């Protein structure tokens, strides 16, 4: 499959090898480009060009009901039926709404999780921290885009950039404007082969997708007068970018819950984890213990108190979810 058009979507030698047994059975390789209410649009190679197949999933496959195909999946098709899902390299999950311990798949097989944060209104720092945790847990690399830079002055943008960098240690943060083109080249250079775009409603995600794609591939709406976003994107959709690579747009979220994310929390709060290694006691709770490097950092002003609060909150959320999963298993 050396010359397959799927290579523009990220197909490579490793996936070629993984698909060999399915090819021998006469199945067709494809990538899920859109999932909407149980219906799947799959991009396949037809005579060297990408073609969309409207497919459905064969639920008799072992484990398939619990692990439905998601946007970004590489699959094997028998005519218009998805029969197999190739192994996933990364998986973006968030907690489901309500009390369920099950998670919700946002996108799979991405290199970069692009987190859109609007500059024209005050950023919700705690929400950004949660998105960063979800991104690290996925196995992909987080990337923060501070959008709508044309709507604020340079001082406001600089302050927001500093704040975002403080709460996203080890993460690239880029100030962008889809309208003027500011920062778009820097963003493109960091996207990787497949990027998933996530963020709150009204963050300008669809406008950013159009700017990166070079055409109006996504509908856009103005932000409501009360500052809350509108849900322009209603389904997770894969968009091919000029020159190769893809961007997966996801619906805007009012909030995001961390799911099964111990490793993600540790990476998201790597500043605290690094300090914790210097505490006198290995089981230090960072409250009133002597020789606590974390409390010392707070008292000297090198670590914000709210970072500790957010860190503990996310850990408690992960612990609650773990207990709920154990109860569900029993």
Query: Between 1 and 20, whose confidence is greater?
Result: 20
Band (pLDDT 50/70/90 cuts) for residue 224 is very low
| Judgement on whether residues 108 and 19 belong to the same structural domain of the protein | no
pLDDT tens, residue by residue, 125-156: 989 999 999 999 999 999 999 999 999 999 99
What is the span of the domain harbouring residue 274?
A: 269-329
Q: Which two tokens stand for residue 8?
A: 């523009």
Cα–Cα distance for residue pair 158/150, rounded to 1 Å:
13
The β-bridge partners of 62 are none
Lowest mean pLDDT among 24-28, 99-103, 229-233: 229-233
Q: Where is mean pLDDT largest: 90-99, 176-185, 247-256?
A: 176-185
pLDDT tens, residue by residue, 67-86: 689 999 999 999 999 999 99
Residue 162 has pLDDT above 50, yes or no: yes
| Judgement on whether residues 9 and 101 belong to the same structural domain of the protein | no
Which CATH number characterizes residue 283's domain?
1.10.40.50
Q: How far is CA 62 from CA 17, 18, 92, 240, in A?
A: 22, 18, 22, 31
Contact indicator for 204, 148 with CB cutoff of 8 Å: yes
Last residue of a domain, one of 22, 52, 85: 85
| Judgement on whether residues 243 and 301 belong to the same structural domain of the protein | no
Last residue of a domain, one of 38, 55, 85: 85
H runs (alpha helix) in the chain: 13-24, 125-138, 154-167, 184-188, 205-213, 262-268, 270-276, 293-300, 305-329
Residue 28 has pLDDT above 70, yes or no: yes
Residue 214 has pLDDT above 90, yes or no: no
Contact indicator for 60, 73 with CB cutoff of 8 Å: no
Instruction: Please state, for a pLDDT cut of 70, what percent of the chain lies above it.
Output: 85
Nearest to 94 by CA among 138, 141, 124, 129: 138
Q: What is the mean pLDDT of residues 187-215?
A: 92
Q: How far is CA 286 from CA 108, 125, 207, in A?
A: 36, 22, 43
pLDDT tens, residue by residue, 257-297: 777 778 999 999 999 999 999 999 999 999 889 999 999 99
Last residue of a domain, one of 46, 70, 85: 85
Does the pTM of the predicted model rise above 0.85?
yes
In-domain check, residue 259: no
| Judgement on whether residues 323 and 294 belong to the same structural domain of the protein | yes
Q: Which two tokens stand for residue 189?
A: 């250079």
| Judgement on whether residues 121 and 206 belong to the same structural domain of the protein | yes
Domain count, the chain: 3
Instruction: Please state, for a pLDDT cut of 90, what percent of the chain lies above it.
Output: 68
In-domain check, residue 262: no
Residue 102: predicted pLDDT: 61
């Amino acid at each position: 499959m050396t010359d397959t058009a799927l290579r523009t979507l990220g197909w490579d030698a490793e996936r070629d090898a993984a698909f060999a047994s399915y090819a021998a059975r006469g199945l067709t390789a494809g990538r899920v480009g859109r999932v909407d209410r149980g219906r799947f649009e799959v991009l396949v190679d037809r005579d060297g060009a990408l073609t969309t197949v409207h497919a459905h999933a064969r639920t008799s496959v072992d484990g398939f009901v619990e692990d439905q195909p998601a946007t970004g999946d590489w699959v094997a098709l028998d005519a218009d039926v998805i029969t197999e899902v190739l192994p996933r390299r990364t998986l973006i999950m968030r907690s489901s709404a309500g009390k369920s311990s099950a998670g919700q798949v946002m996108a799979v097989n991405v290199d970069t999780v692009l987190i859109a944060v609007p500059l024209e209104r005050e950023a919700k720092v705690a929400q950004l921290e949660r998105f960063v945790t979800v991104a690290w847990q996925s196995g992909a690399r987080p990337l923060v885009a501070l959008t709508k830079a044309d709507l604020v002055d340079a001082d406001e943008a600089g302050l927001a950039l500093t704040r975002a960098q403080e709460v996203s240690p080890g993460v690239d943060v880029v100030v962008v404007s889809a309208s003027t083109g500011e920062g778009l080249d820097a963003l493109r250079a960091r996207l990787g082969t497949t990027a998933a775009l996530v963020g709150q409603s009204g963050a300008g995600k669809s406008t950013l997708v159009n700017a990166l794609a070079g055409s109006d591939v996504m509908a856009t709406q103005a932000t409501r007068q009360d500052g809350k976003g509108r849900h322009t994107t209603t389904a997770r959709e894969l968009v091919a970018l000029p020159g190769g690579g893809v961007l997966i747009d996801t619906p805007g979220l009012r909030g995001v819950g961390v799911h099964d994310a111990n490793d993600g929390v540790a990476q998201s709060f790597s500043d605290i984890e690094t300090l914790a290694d210097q505490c006198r006691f290995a089981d230090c709770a960072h409250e009133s213990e002597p020789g606590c490097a974390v409390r010392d950092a707070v008292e000297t002003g090198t670590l914000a108190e709210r970072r500790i609060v957010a860190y503990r909150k996310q850990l408690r959320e992960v612990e609650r979810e773990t207990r709920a999963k154990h109860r569900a298993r029993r």
